[in-house]
Structure 1
Amino acid sequence: MNWELKSDRPIYVQLIEQIQLRIVSGLYPAGSRLPAVRDMAAEASVNPNTMQKSLAELERSGLVYTQRTSGRFVTEDRAMIQSVKELLARDQLKEFFIKMGQIGFTREETITLVEQAREGEDRHDTDLAV
């Protein structure tokens, strides 16, 4: 998973979101050790202080914790991870509905389009199985 950073919002906020995404997707599984701050910063092409700020914020939220001599780890609280996953999903859905509204679709029309797209996927999956 690549780090995708844009100039429209603070970098540390985007890093928080992307680390959260890596956790909820299982790239960084519950209880796993995170890479070192400098390694993560180099991979994301950001200043280590910026990455440190993001990780400190994730620690405050409880999603990540530090063991003094061993580094940072993802929480083992699967309910918390699931809660973050649902929050991220709701944010994506909200953004999607806003964008659909901007191009002229009502909420109901958008839901209909989503259902039609899903039905198309189901048919496509069936076609592939034949």
Structure 2
Amino acid sequence: MSDPTDSTESSYVKPTDESDPDRVLLRTGVGRELAGSEAFGSVCVLSTEQARRILSGDKKELIHTLHEHEKATEEELSELLDRHIDGIRIDLKELARGDLVDIQEKGSARQAMLSYDTIIVEPLVAPKSISEDTSYSVQNEPK
């Protein structure tokens, strides 16, 4: 039998709704742990469901391109990715709704940049100590 005080014991994330308090606390705890390290900067921990909804292949490529170029207009992204600008706009709007991208008006152009330095998907398992002392404070959780 495992020792309940052993902080190295892992928490299994049950296949429940993404708004389940245990899963929210785990995402919050992981995000705080990573954000506490300068190496990761600002951190967003997506639920697996949110990642599945938002991160299609084209959107992942768009995120990687924004990571490499920091800021880019819709037109620049269209050229860099060899995609039609309408598709870029649709993907950027969806990423902005998920709070992964900030879009700013620059004259007649719209410029996009990532909202976070690090974007990851919630872990399947993690040490219990990560979520034990975490309080609920995740923004942009599903409503």
Rg (Cα) greater in structure? 1
Q: TM-score, normalised by structure 2?
A: 0.37
Q: TM-score, normalised by structure 1?
A: 0.40
The higher relative CO (CA closer than 8 Å, separation ≥ 6) is in 2
Structure with more helix by fraction: 1
